Structure 1
Amino acid sequence: MRTSLFIVIILLSGCSAGIIHGLVNLALVEPYLDKAIGIENQHMFASGEAKDTPQFWAEYYSYRAWQKGGQLLAGAILGTAIGALFGIVFGYTRNILPGNSFAKKALVLAAIMWITLYLIPFAKYPANPPTVGDPETILLRQMLYVSFIAISGFGALGFYLIFRRLKNKRFVAVLGYAGFIGTVFALMPQNPDAVTAPTDLVNGFRAMSLVGVSTFWLSVGLILGALWQKLQPDRVKQTKFQ
């Protein structure tokens, strides 16, 4: 393995996919955030917590502009971190992944990680706009979500090791993971907060969040797979002796 080339590939693919994710969020998710925050602002005006003044709106729009401007930077940073994890896993598993090219193998791995690290936890704890939920339970909600990601991820890793040992009955490992994560799904506590925001807002936000994160996993699989296929960092150069 040519280490420097390997590092460049995984960092570049993760960063690029993260920027794409940030762009998708700006286009699809941010409008729902604007609506959710707008509802929260009206609640603050009604309760007297804030006043509907030009100064309030000037500060609000300045803050939102800063938030939106940071989407690409945040996406690049988070994408680089997740891309590094994806690249390391791909480096270890590329020889057993199905597919007749590294590009196809990377897409398979991206699909597996998307399912185990995002889709399954998302099904249990779907995303909500930031103003939905009791602020006092945010730590509990975050712990539940992160715990489910960890359980699903490490569970997938454990059953992957079993999968490698089973030569002719590898479907047993797949069924084992399905049974394991199904049990965890049923036993994990529900979200403690009732969703009181408009249904169309919540459902739209969840759908666009799903599209955004799915775009990231598709992008990181495509980009890393294409770069790996072209540059092949695991190819050992042959030394010619005179």
Structure 2
Amino acid sequence: MNQDQVRTILLSIEDAPIEFTLIFSGKKSKKVNGLYKPDTREIIIHNRNFEDDNLLLYTAIHEYAHHLHACSLGGKLPSRSHTTEFWGILHDLLEKAEAKGVYKNVFTESPELAELTETIRKKYLLQNGSLVKELGMLLLKAGELCDSIGARFEDYIDRVLCIPRLAARMSMKMFEYDLDPSLGSDNMRFLAGIKNDDNRAAAEKSLLGGKSPDAVKRETMKKSQEDDPRDRLEKEKLRIERTINSLTKRLDEVERELETIS
């Protein structure tokens, strides 16, 4: 597989609104398998790190996710590039690549790993989620008892149970919203923080359907922006301004290069 073939595969997964180049370095690197340079919009793959095309493609898709993330921000990346937005973009790309058959889902090929996955889901994620949800039910009952004896429930949480109030509130919401414990307590905590009932139900459905937490968080953030039209328009305005500034800068660079050639 050469660099042109990899670039074609990336574009077949999702088109890029800003042009980019993909280069095989022809080298091995002990530090990284690949990198993305936002200033020049270059994806560099240290192709001699790989003996397997699928692993090479994973790195290419990873770096392409950085490019698409930069495109959404007007050509620039934040100081911390591996954000929730980035991971959401990456996981969506991998899902599309698997659906198109250009990238192989290796997790389903090992019977041993599949068996271990089932054990983790049933013995730990499900049991952990069930316990935290049951804790929420008991805390709600404790709150009623505190009211009946004229005691402050917050004081009971702080000085008797000695647990953070936020953790207590989240577990109570998990029970009140009747969240699916098979998702595990961390995903349930995320869902409990979504105020909009429809958005929370959609997020839970996506998680149960196999979407990654970061991909679901990205979806939820987009829906929240759609719920607030002013916020959505202000963010779109900012993205457009960044894109214009980036393209204007690049236009100036091209014009200067043309002047030197002539």
Which band: TM-score by shorter chain?
under 0.3
**Higher RCO structure, 1 or 2 (CA under 8 Å, sep 6+):** 1
Bigger Cα Rg: 2
Write 1 or 2 for the structure with the bigger share of strand.
2
The alignment's TM-score, normalised by the length of structure 1, stands at: 0.26
